[in-house]
Amino acid sequence: MTKQSPLRITYKALAVALLLYALIYGLLAEIPVSPQMGSQLGQSARNLLYHVPNWFAMLVMMGISLYHSIRVLRLTDPDREQTENPLRADIKANESARVGVMFNILGLLTGIIWARVSWNVAKEATSFSAWWGWDPIQTCALIALLIYLAYYLLRNSIEDPEQKAKVSAVYNIFAFMTLIPLFFVIPRILDGLHPTADGGAVLFKKEGMNNLLRTILYPGMIGFILMGVWIYEIRSRATTLRFRWQEWQSNQEYDNSHQS
């Protein structure tokens, strides 16, 4: 069996430890009801510890996807020496975007439930606005999800693997660029239901959040990101293995046909 490097084992163990810490301490710690958090949140304020890390994990996964998409374009450049098969980089770009989409969906779901019990508690459960308030951040997150779902539609519409890799790499670069206005610019311009401090997100502002929550939220964020990297690693290794197997089979068929 191939031995894993100590770095790989360390990051996986760290992911498990940090997530266990965030889950156990996050659910059992006495939640302070500070003026910033608002007393109407009650125990649901714990959702902050599991809702917010999804978005950071999503951004990291989309960043990894962007990196591999740039590599695809460099590797398919005819003026450069081809050091690696560009399709392998495309597999990594595709799989990391997939994990990013998973975090986006988890972030939206945890947000929808939280919004229902905190912002829209007075509304009837059957009404759409009880679950979805068209808050700018919420809407931008949905737009980001749709942009990345279109990435998969695009991929599935192209049959030639090399062309698919190149076209989807270009699209992926643009998709990542849209995340900057969607997550960092528009929510700061438009007023919404999400809490803000000094016009920005409360997470990293001194007056924005209680220190106890910080001690759970920040390690939890790292745990979510490392777990995302682990899922991505497993998925890309599995797909790369399938790719290698197909390459090996076609090489065998080629050798056999030339021997006979």
Partner 1 sequence: MNFPISLLQDILFTSDKIYSVLAVVLVVFGAFLFMMIRQDRRLSQMESEMNEKDNPHP
Tell me which residues touch partner 1 (CB under 8 A): 1-4, 12, 16, 19-20, 23-24, 27-28, 42-44, 46-47, 113, 116-117, 121, 125, 230-231, 234, 237-238, 241, 244-245, 248
Which residue, 126 or 257, has its beta carbon nearer to partner 1?
126
Which residue, 27 or 149, has its beta carbon nearer to partner 1?
27
Which residue, 118 or 178, has its beta carbon nearer to partner 1?
118
Measure the CA–CA gap between 36 and 210, rounded to whole angstroms: 8
Angle between helix 6-28 and helix 48-75 axes, rounded to 10 deg: 150
Provide the minimum distance between the beta carbon of 150 and partner 1 in the complex, in angstroms, as a whole number. 29
Q: Judge contact between 168 and 94, C-beta under 8 A.
A: yes
Neighbours of 154 (CB within 10 A): 16
Gyration radius from the chain CA atoms:
22
Q: Judge contact between 75 and 26, C-beta under 8 A.
A: no
Which residue, 24 or 149, has its beta carbon nearer to partner 1?
24
Provide the minimum distance between the beta carbon of 85 and partner 1 in the complex, in angstroms, as a whole number. 13
Provide the minimum distance between the beta carbon of 13 and partner 1 in the complex, in angstroms, as a whole number. 11
Q: Judge contact between 89 and 238, C-beta under 8 A.
A: no
Provide the minimum distance between the beta carbon of 31 and partner 1 in the complex, in angstroms, as a whole number. 8
